[in-house]
C-alpha cells in the first residue's frame, strides 16, 4: 500500500493555491491543522503532528514546508511513537528560527529555536532555494547535513510558495515521486 502523505504546513497554514494544499487534494493526503496558526511552539506543534500520526494508519511520508519542517524535526526529537512508520520526509524551505533577521520580521518563529541538529530516524530530503528570505542556502545545507538528509537546490526559487510562483509546483511532485521510490519497495509505490 502506498504511504499516506502527511502535509505539515508552516506559519499561517498554506493558502488555497499553495502546493501543499493542492497536494492535499490531489493525493488525498492527511493534513496537520494547528490550533494556533501564527504562534508555533515545538511542544504544541509537534504534539499536533503526533496526534495526526497516531490517527493515521499505515506507512507515512511527512511533507513539511517552512515552519512545518521545524515541526517535523522537533517531533522527531520529542516523540518516538509512530516514527517507525515514517518512510521518509520531504523538507521544503526550512525556516531559520535562529536567524535574527528572520526573527525580526517574524518574531513568532523565535519560539521554534533552537533547531534540533540530530540525525533524523528516517530518510529525508531537504529542498532549499538559493534566494529564500527565511533561510540562507548555506544554513539550509547545514541543517540537511545535521539531519543526515539528502540535499537538493531548487535554484533561485524564493520561499518555494505561491508568492515565488510555486502553486502546483510540478518539479516538487517529481522530487516527491523520486523520493517515494527510493524510500519504499518498488511494488508498493503507485504514485
Q: Are 63 and 5 in contact (CB under 8 A)?
A: yes
Q: Is residue 165 part of a domain?
A: no
> What's the distance, CA 123 to chain centroid?
13
Q: Is residue 91 part of a domain?
A: yes
Mean pLDDT, the chain, rounded, equals 92
Beta bridge partners of 86: 60
Q: Is residue 85 part of a domain?
A: yes
> How many whole angstroms separate alpha carbon 110 and alpha carbon 112?
5
Q: Is residue 10 part of a domain?
A: yes
At 83-136, the pLDDT tens digits run 999 999 999 999 999 999 999 999 999 999 999 999 999 999 999 999 999 999
Q: Is residue 191 part of a domain?
A: no
Q: Is residue 18 part of a domain?
A: yes
pLDDT band at 158 (very low <50, low <70, confident <90, very high): confident
> How many whole angstroms separate alpha carbon 191 and alpha carbon 179?
11
DSSP helix/strand/coil, 102: helix
Cell representation of residue 148: 543526515
> How many whole angstroms separate alpha carbon 38 and alpha carbon 25?
23
Lowest-confidence region among 23-32, 65-74, 146-155, 160-169: 160-169
CATH code where residue 118 lies: 3.40.50.1820
At 39-59, the pLDDT tens digits run 999 999 999 999 999 999 999
pLDDT value for 180: 86
pLDDT value for 190: 46
pLDDT value for 28: 92
DSSP 2: P
> How many whole angstroms separate alpha carbon 172 and alpha carbon 51?
26
Q: Is residue 162 part of a domain?
A: no
At 50-96, the pLDDT tens digits run 999 999 999 999 999 999 999 999 999 999 989 999 999 999 999 99
pLDDT value for 14: 85
pLDDT band at 191 (very low <50, low <70, confident <90, very high): very low
pLDDT value for 33: 96
Domain that holds residue 100: 4-157+171-183
Please give the tally of structural domains in the chain.
Answer: 1
Beta bridge partners of 90: 63, 125
Q: Is residue 146 part of a domain?
A: yes
Q: Are 48 and 34 in contact (CB under 8 A)?
A: yes
Nearest to 19 by CA among 132, 135, 166, 133: 166
Amino acid at each position: 500500500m502506498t504511504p499516506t502523505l502527511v502535509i505539515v504546513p508552516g506559519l499561517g497554514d498554506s493558502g488555497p493555491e499553495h502546493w501543499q494544499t493542492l497536494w492535499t487534494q490531489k493525493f488525498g493526503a492527511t493534513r496537520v491543522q494547528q490550533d494556533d496558526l501564527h504562534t508555533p511552539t515545538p511542544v504544541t506543534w509537534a504534539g499536533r503532528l503526533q496526534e495526526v500520526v497516531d490517527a493515521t494508519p499505515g506507512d507515512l511520508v511527512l511533507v513539511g514546508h517552512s515552519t512545518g519542517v521545524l515541526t517535523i524535526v522537533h517531533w522527531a526529537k520529542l516523540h518516538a511513537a509512530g516514527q517507525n512508520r515514517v518512510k521518509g520526509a520531504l523538507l521544503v524551505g526550512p525556516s531559520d528560527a535562529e536567524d535574527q533577521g528572520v526573527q525580526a520580521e517574524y518574531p513568532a518563529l523565535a519560539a521554534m529555536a533552537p533547531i534540533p541538529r540530530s540525525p533524523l530516524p528516517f530518510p529525508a530530503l531537504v529542498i532549499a532555494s538559493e534566494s529564500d528570505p527565511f533561510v540562507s542556502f548555506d544554513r539550509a545545507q547545514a541543517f540537511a547535513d545535521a539531519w543526515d538528509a539528502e540535499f537538493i537546490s531548487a535554484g533561485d526559487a524564493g520561499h518555494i510558495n505561491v508568492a515565488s510562483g510555486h502553486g502546483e509546483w510540478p518539479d516538487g511532485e517529481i522530487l516527491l515521486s523520486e523520493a517515494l521510490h527510493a524510500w519504499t519497495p518498488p511494488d508498493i509505490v503507485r504514485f
